[in-house]
Structure 1
Amino acid sequence: MSSHSISPARAHGLVCGDLQPGAANRITDVAGVTVGHQTVRQGSFRTGFTAVLPHPGNLFLEKLPAGVDVINGFGKSAGLIQVEELGTLETPILLTNTFAVGTGINALIRRELSINPDIDRSGGTVNPVVMECNDGYLSDINSMVLSETDAFAALDAASDDFDQGSAGAGTGISAFGFKGGIGSASRVFELGRRNFTLGALVQANFGKPGDLILPDGRKPQPPAGGQIVERGSVIVVLATDVPLESRQLKRVARRAAAGLGRLGAFYGNGSGDIALAFSTAQRLPHTNDSDFIARDVLQEDKIDLLFKAAAETTQEAVLNAMIASPAMQGFKGRSRPSLADWLENQAG
Structure 2
Amino acid sequence: MPPTTAEVAVVGGGLAGAGAACVLAKAGHEVMLLEREASATHKICGEFLSTETQGYLRRLGLDLDGLGGHVVSHLRLVRENTIVETALPFNGMGLSRYRLDEALLNHACQCGAQLSRGQRASVADISGSIDLDVQNAGTVRTNTLFLATGKHDLRELRRHPDTPPEDLVGFKMHFDVDSTQRHALANHVELVLFAHGYAGLQRVEDGRVNLCLLAEGSWLKACGGTWEGLLEELLRTCPHLQRRLSNATPLLSQPLTIYRVPYGFVYNPPANSAGNIYRLGDQVGVISSFSGDGMGIALHSGVVAATHYLAGLDAGSYHRRIRHDIASQIWRAGLLYRASRWAPSQRLLMGWTRLMPRSLRLAASLTRIPPSAVTQAMERIP
TM-score bin (small chain): under 0.3
Structure with more helix by fraction: 2
| Greater relative CO (CA pairs within 8 A, separation 6+) | 1
Question: In terms of Rg, which structure is larger?
Answer: 2
